[in-house]
Structure 1
Amino acid sequence: MTFYGIFFFYIIFWTAVVSPTPILKRGYKPKTNTIDLTIEKVTLAPDGFTRQLSTVNGQYPGPTIEVNKGDRILMKIRNKLGEPTAIHAHGMLQRGTPWYDGVPWMAQCVIPDDYEFTYNFTVPEEAGTHWYHAHETLQYVDGAFGALIVHDPDDPYKSEYDEEIIVMLNDYHHTNAQPLLKEFLTPEIPDNGLINGKNNFDCSKAPSGSKCVDNAGLAKFEFVKNKKYRLRIINTSAFSAFFFSIDKHEMEVIEADGSYTKRNKINRLPINVAQRYSVIVTANQPVDNYIMRSEFQKKCMPDAAANLPIIKAIVHYEGAPNDAEPKDNPWSDSLAECVDLDHKTLQPLKEEKIPEATKKFEFEIEFHKNKTGIVKAFLNGSSYIPDINFPTLDKIFKGKSSYERSANAYVFDKDGEVVDLYFINYDEGDHPFHIHGYQFWVLGTGDGDKVNKDELNTNNPIKRDTATIPGSGWMAIRFVSDNPGVWGIHCHMICYRSFRFCSLYCFFF
């Protein structure tokens, strides 16, 4: 527990003196929200198959955290997992509080079993659809996650919908994630998928001796004729990208990863791991029951995924029969798989002139066997290895100025550097990359191992925190290095085709 003692002074100093003061608008007075979260293992059967899950307050998914822009969050974690943990608030920039980012061995030591720890941070500029999840080993794959919504008093779309609905999508395994990692199973195929923690499973496919019940039940969403709904859609998967849709209902995209967008009318929404979107849906169809569906993008997965089912939920109009089976009316759009919603059409609501780059880096992503024959990920020839005895942020406070190559450390010591990152992906699989502590502009993506710099979009590109690098392709992003701290950048897939994506990190501080 030395780590927490070391940071006590810094926490008090930064919170009192340096931490940003929220900008108050429309007379809103920020408040402090105290959220008590107990992380513990509970036996549940979300799709009818009984297994042990890592839950938050005994729930799967965990309880939703809802705050307002400008508020302070006191997230009190009580660890009852029987193993260490750490919690990351995905989408929170942690300006002035980098030690609360929740990444073990970068920002903090892990929270030991049977120990309590409080994350204390403000959200002065963040708004929109986010989530929180365990960032230690594979705990969030086993259920340690939940939605984190930051409401905006100045939301430009607030008057254009009647209600909000949270929709959480995820792939789902009937085997605990830790054994999956240890055994390096290939191919890594989920057993099912869930919407808001529910779906049915065909128990005839369950292993002998397991406990399984058919027709466990689907999630149900209540619509009222002619009302408009803001659906906040979050992909909390281990490694699966989806196409999300509602039969017979168009959607208008208005948010991507906390950034407001211009209206973008679509029928089916591609959403990769850790991405979030808000869409407005109008209940303008005849009163009936309709299928909400989350379809695996199977071209991004091993061939054995071909038999995975469509994940379904029910949209029930008020006045429709409760027990009537909805008709199957899927949209027939043909969409490219393993890539994001086209960034050329996904435009920010307010036009923004982005600054010219002052520094550029090119990162090559490859996969090789290590000395023990295990396939691992490499960034510019280096596979990340955490120092479990000396967190990186602690090293900085103690004046350490050099880092082992395996730390994949990239140092920015000049405030306001405008940084271009070019990712060259030599793997055939796509990679949804997430940066902690920042949002970034997506300048472009493409095929091949050469970034087409002449066609990069610097005219009003979308800004977000998670974007997909195509398989055997590239992605170019830009951000302003103006948030002191240690920030991980990594593929958010957990364990795909037995690769260890957790080794793909670099630091910005």
Structure 2
Amino acid sequence: MSLTDESPSNSLLGHESELEPPRWKEESRKHRTRSCSLVFIATLLLIPVTILFVLYLPWTSASKAPAPDLTTTPETVSVVGPTRDLRLLLRPEDHVSRDPTIQYFSWNITKGKIAPNGVQKDVFLINGQFPGPTIEARSGDVLEIEVFNFAEEGISLHWHGLHMRGANHMDGPVGITQCAIQHGQTFTYRVPIDEQAGTFWYHAHSELQRADGLYGGLVVHNHTTPLENVSYQYDKELLFLVGDWYHWPSDKVLANFMDRTSMGTEPCPDSLLVNGLGYFECGMATHGSPVDCSEVEKPWILLDKVLRYRVRLVNVGSLTGFSFTIPDVEMKVIQVDGGGQVESSELVNSVGVLYPAERVDLVVSWPETVVDTDTKIIVELDKEYFLRPNFALTPTQSFLVSPASLTPQPPNNTTGTHRFNLREAKGPPLFTPLPDPDKLFMIYTTIEILNRLGSRPHGFINHTTWEPQAVPLLASPRETWNEHQLIPWTGPEPVWVELTINNIDNSGHPFHLHGFDFHLISSYEGKGGWDYYNPFESKPPRGGAFNTMNPVRKDTVYVPPWGYVVIRFLADHEGIWALHCHVMWHAGSGMVMGFQVLGDEGGLGGGEMGRQAAMLCGG
């Protein structure tokens, strides 16, 4: 796809013969507005249950569990117990000093009706849990995860932020690296971690199931510096999985977004959840969106304010970013995404905005003067996509941090907010500047409404709106790919790739690149109009010179409205790696592409990974 024979090669995805922005040729109209019982008996009953629990708890088992009868749905456990404590404490001490190992897990995927915030909804469960079990590992481990699908829909799982070196066929996206695990099928993921360490997560990568609860935390501890105390000085670790939440099933939400009457405006979420718990005021439900709702206790969290905590935040939501605030604390941002170091000596009490799929690690401590006082965690959903109002939503919610009182209280606004702007994060200085790119790529992304697509909103990258093929791309030669597959080839050898993502929408897009970390060397938001950047023109970028001295390292990046980002990464391990917007409704409507790295231009279907990718496809 080179435009010239000169180095670096110049590749403009989908525009081999033109350098100008894409022009939508047909009748295109773009209009986005956004919008008790006896103790003895009980004891007798508990003994066998406890024995079974110890023997068969599959996610801590050191060996594989026997395969279940996939014709019978397993019993599930209550996911909303008597406590509403949000704490999800991690145990790095179990991992940082041991040798690398293979960890075995056995997961039953089911669906069940639960009410995480008081509102009943059909939610995906893993061994009866929502969110799914938290995986903790150390760098060098291999995860072997046997998945039994009892749900009616086909499923797959993606290990967000892990490089999956030599295991592209285990990466998860249906249509690209595998077929779905259908009802009654079993599949074993083998996930290599290599030397990575940081905050990751796993989630569905088939259909829209992430929005219906098919996700969980994945933390890889750094064995080289136990607790990393040398650098960060903390006592315990906490994981927070935070995100927006819809009461409708995900397929209905997508249908609403893609309806021609929506004009491309995203449906506003109904609530928010923290570690699978939330609070919804039943009286706020509207006649147009009735719900089966019961009042529940507002979640809270019990922490020892004498201790310092490493807080690992993950945005598991489908649409919105959020800010995370704890008044009266001292908070230091230390990492983003999968271990990308942040260079900052700034002490704050808030961080944001964290967009879907992004992660941030903080060290939080309380000054001695406020240790004995009540504090709240405040989560505020960003309103960028809220132009279609949802009056039932409470976008800013607070959660008490104290054992003294569990009474819901309003947000604490007595302390000023000092927020770390994640979009301005910088990494530590590099010993040498980043290498110059060997190949340049440029893409344009937008939500478009076209007559030929029924005047329904679709996500586009260049002239392509993605649809999965029956046989995944990794398992098929390039010549069999249809026009919905935008998968440029980076070449047969490892190369440094520079990718410019231009956003011609009036709202942002959080883009995730599978398989790689990248250096964010430029980010620019348009000022009053579309300020794109074309690396093939002589004009300097509107956002100024690229940062090649201390760029932050990430795997998910927010592309600002009417602007662009420029990222640079070493494309050095084979596979077809997805690149897509992590807003569920944008990816679900087509805002997906990928890169083929290494191999030959005809695809990777003839190799071993390609053959493995077809295992679930039948025929």
- Unpaired stretches in structure 2, ≥5 consecutive residues: 1-94, 534-539, 598-619
Q: Is the 8 A contact 2:325 2:377 kept in 1?
A: yes
Point out the more displaced range, 45-54 or 482-491.
45-54
CA distance in 1, matches of 2:391, 2:349: 23
CA distance in 1, matches of 2:97, 2:126: 34
Q: Is the 8 A contact 2:532 2:562 kept in 1?
A: no
Q: Is the 8 A contact 1:164 1:231 kept in 2?
A: yes
Highest RCO, 1 vs 2 (Cα 8 Å, sep ≥ 6): 2
Identify the residue that residue 602 of structure 2 maps to in structure 1. Answer: none
Q: What is the SS of the residue equivalent to 1:406?
A: coil
Identify the residue that residue 570 of structure 2 maps to in structure 1. Answer: 480
Identify the residue that residue 32 of structure 1 maps to in structure 2. Answer: 102
Q: Is the 8 A contact 1:385 1:503 kept in 2?
A: no
| 1:212 Cα deviation after fit | 1.2
1:88 counterpart = 2:158: yes
| 1:423 Cα deviation after fit | 1.1
Aligned positions of 1:159-170 closer than 5 A: 159=229, 160-170=233-243
| 1:333 Cα deviation after fit | 4.0
Q: What is the SS of the residue equivalent to 1:410?
A: coil
1:460 counterpart = 2:550: yes
Which of residues 83, 89, 111 is equivalent to 1:41? 111
1:392 counterpart = 2:470: no
In structure 2, give the amino acid aligned to 1:341.
L
CA distance in 1, matches of 2:446, 2:165: 32
Identify the residue that residue 505 of structure 1 maps to in structure 2. Answer: 593
Which of residues 209, 212, 225 is equivalent to 2:305? 225
CA distance in 2, matches of 1:309, 1:351: 46
Q: What is the SS of the residue equivalent to 1:179?
A: helix
What TM-score do you get using the length of structure 2 for normalisation?
0.72
| 1:354 Cα deviation after fit | 1.5
1:245 counterpart = 2:289: no
Distance 1:43 1:352, change over 3 A: farther
| 1:78 Cα deviation after fit | 1.1
CA distance in 2, matches of 1:112, 1:165: 34
1:434 counterpart = 2:512: yes
Q: Deviations over 1:253-277 (max 9, x none)?
A: 1110112323453322110000011
Which of residues 248, 254, 269 is equivalent to 1:175? 248
1:489 counterpart = 2:579: yes
Q: What is the SS of the residue equivalent to 2:209?
A: coil
CA distance in 1, matches of 2:299, 2:219: 20
Identify the residue that residue 296 of structure 1 maps to in structure 2. Answer: 381
CA RMSD in angstroms comes to 2.4
Identify the residue that residue 80 of structure 2 maps to in structure 1. Answer: none
Distance 1:465 1:491, change over 3 A: same
| Structure of greater Rg | 2
CA distance in 1, matches of 2:217, 2:269: 22
| 1:362 Cα deviation after fit | 1.2
Point out the more displaced range, 63-72 or 277-286.
277-286
Which of residues 171, 186, 201 is equivalent to 1:101? 171
CA distance in 1, matches of 2:283, 2:570: 53
| 1:335 Cα deviation after fit | 6.7
Q: Deviations over 1:180-213 (max 9, x none)?
A: 2234364401111111111211111335674211
1:262 counterpart = 2:343: yes
Identify the residue that residue 377 of structure 1 maps to in structure 2. Answer: 459
Q: What is the SS of the residue equivalent to 2:475?
A: helix
Larger strand proportion of the pair: 1
| 1:351 Cα deviation after fit | 5.2
Identify the residue that residue 17 of structure 1 maps to in structure 2. Answer: none
In structure 1, give the amino acid aligned to 2:575.
G
| 1:401 Cα deviation after fit | 5.7
Q: Is the 8 A contact 1:236 1:274 kept in 2?
A: yes
Point out the more displaced range, 147-156 or 274-283.
147-156
CA distance in 2, matches of 1:179, 1:244: 29
Distance 1:32 1:150, change over 3 A: same
1:199 counterpart = 2:278: yes
Identify the residue that residue 3 of structure 1 maps to in structure 2. Answer: none
Distance 1:34 1:303, change over 3 A: same
Q: What is the SS of the residue equivalent to 1:223?
A: coil
Q: Is the 8 A contact 1:194 1:311 kept in 2?
A: no
CA distance in 1, matches of 2:389, 2:356: 20
CA distance in 2, matches of 1:314, 1:239: 22
In structure 2, give the amino acid aligned to 1:196.
N
Q: What is the SS of the residue equivalent to 1:99?
A: helix
Point out the more displaced range, 478-487 or 445-454.
445-454
Aligned positions of 1:333-344 closer than 5 A: 333=417, 341-343=422-424
- Unpaired stretches in structure 1, ≥5 consecutive residues: 1-24
| 1:334 Cα deviation after fit | 8.0
Q: Is the 8 A contact 2:446 2:505 kept in 1?
A: yes
Q: What is the SS of the residue equivalent to 1:110?
A: coil
CA distance in 2, matches of 1:323, 1:115: 44
| 1:441 Cα deviation after fit | 0.5
